[in-house]
Amino acid sequence: MPRGRWFWLAAPALLLIGAVFLVPVGWLLLRSLSDPRWGLQNYAAVFAHPVYLRVFWNTIVIAGSVTALCLLIGYPVAYTMAHAGERGRRFLVFVILIPFWTSLLVRTYAWLVLLQQNGLVNRVLVDSGLVAAPLQLVYNRLGVLIGMVQVQLPFMVLPLYAVLSRIHPRYGQAAATLGAPPVAEFRRVYLPLSLPGVFTGCALVFITSLGYYITPALLGGRQDLMIAQLILIQIGDFGNWGLAAALAIILLFGAAVTLALFYRILAARQRPLR
C-alpha cells in the first residue's frame, strides 16, 4: 500500500484548516503590511512603543505563570489518576472535564461573583477570622491566574495522564531494588520518563494561554492587559486594522516559535517514550 493514499483521509481536515486558518491569516498578513499604506510601519510602531512591548511581555508572563501553576497543580492530579483504581480514575476524569460543561463566559462571571470584594470566598475568609479585611482577589493578576488556571488545567492533566499511565511500575520497582529511596526514584526515573507528557501539556497550555481574551478582560486589572485585548482595542476603539493585524501576526509567530521549540525538546527526549 503506497503511503500517500492514506493522505486523503486527512484531506477534509486539511481543507477546513486551510479555509478557516490560512485564508484569514494571509489576509491579516496582507493587512498588516498594507494598512494604511504598504510598508513595515505597523511592525515598526509595535517595536517603537514600550506600551505594546509591555503588553507582549505581560502576555508571556501570564501564559508562563498559568503554565507553571497548571503543571504544579496538574502533575499530582495526573499522577493520582494514573495510579488510581478504575473507579477513582473515572471520577477524576469526570471532575477534570467539568469545566468543559459550561461556557467560558459563564465560568468567568462565576469567578467574578466568587472572588469579588463581598463574594463568597471573601465572606468565608472574613467570617472565619482568617483575614481581617476582604482580600483583593479580582481585577488583578491573581484573578487572571485563578480564572485561567481553572480553565487550562485539563489541557495539562490529560496529556500528562496519557504518558504517566504508560510508565510501567517495574521501572520504579527496579530503582527501589537498586537502592533508590522514593525521592531519588521519582527524580531519577519517574520524572524523566514523564517528561514527554510534561512538554506536551506545557506546550498546549502555554500556547493556548497566549491568545486569552475574556478571562483577563473580566478578572484582570489595568496592569494585566493581554495581547488579544490590545488587538480588540486597536480595532474596536481606534479602527487601527493595520496595527491590530501586525500584533496578531507577531503573536502567531511567537506561538509558532514556541511550538517549534517544544517540538525540538520533545524530539531530543523521544527515547523515554518507548
142 versus 176: smaller Cβ distance to another protein: 176
Instruction: Say whether residue 274 binds another protein (CB under 8 A).
Output: yes
User: What is the Cα–Cα distance from 203 to 96, expressed in whole angstroms?
Assistant: 19
* Cβ pair 242, 36 in contact under 8 A: yes
Report the candidate in 271, 264, 80, 268 with the shortest Cα–Cα distance to residue 193: 271
- The grid coordinates of residue 112 equal 467574578
Give residues 185-204 in contact with another protein (rule: CB under 8 A). Answer: 185, 188-189, 192-193
Count of beta carbons in the 10 Å neighbourhood of residue 143? 24
Instruction: Say whether residue 181 binds another protein (CB under 8 A).
Output: yes
Instruction: Say whether residue 265 binds another protein (CB under 8 A).
Output: no
User: What is the Cα–Cα distance from 134 to 138, expressed in whole angstroms?
Assistant: 11
Least separation in angstroms between CB 31 and another protein? 47
Least separation in angstroms between CB 219 and another protein? 40
Least separation in angstroms between CB 168 and another protein? 8
Least separation in angstroms between CB 189 and another protein? 6
Instruction: Say whether residue 145 binds another protein (CB under 8 A).
Output: no
The crossing angle, in degrees rounded to 10, of helices 241-268 and 50-83 is 40
End-to-end CA distance of the chain: 26
Instruction: Say whether residue 3 binds another protein (CB under 8 A).
Output: no
* Cβ pair 63, 82 in contact under 8 A: no
Amino acid at position 41, single letter:
Q
The binder of another protein chosen from 180, 233, 235, 266 (CB under 8 A): 180
Instruction: Say whether residue 115 binds another protein (CB under 8 A).
Output: no
Report the candidate in 144, 152, 120, 118 with the shortest Cα–Cα distance to residue 218: 144
The binder of another protein chosen from 13, 127, 177, 239 (CB under 8 A): 177
Kindly list the distances between the CA atom of residue 230 and the CA atoms of 124, 201, 236, 242, 243, in Å, as whole numbers in the listed order: 35, 27, 10, 13, 10
Kindly list the distances between the CA atom of residue 38 and the CA atoms of 31, 43, 242, in Å, as whole numbers in the listed order: 9, 12, 10
Instruction: Say whether residue 160 binds another protein (CB under 8 A).
Output: no
Least separation in angstroms between CB 164 and another protein? 15
Contact flags string 26-65 toward another protein, x per CB under 8 A: ----------------------------------------
Instruction: Give the interface size with another protein as a residue count (CB under 8 A).
Output: 21
- The span of 33-41, 136-144, 151-159, 175-183 binding another protein (CB under 8 A) equals 175-183
Instruction: Say whether residue 184 binds another protein (CB under 8 A).
Output: yes
Least separation in angstroms between CB 45 and another protein? 47
* Footprint on this chain of another protein (rule: CB under 8 A): 168, 170-171, 173-181, 184-185, 188-189, 192-193, 271-272, 274
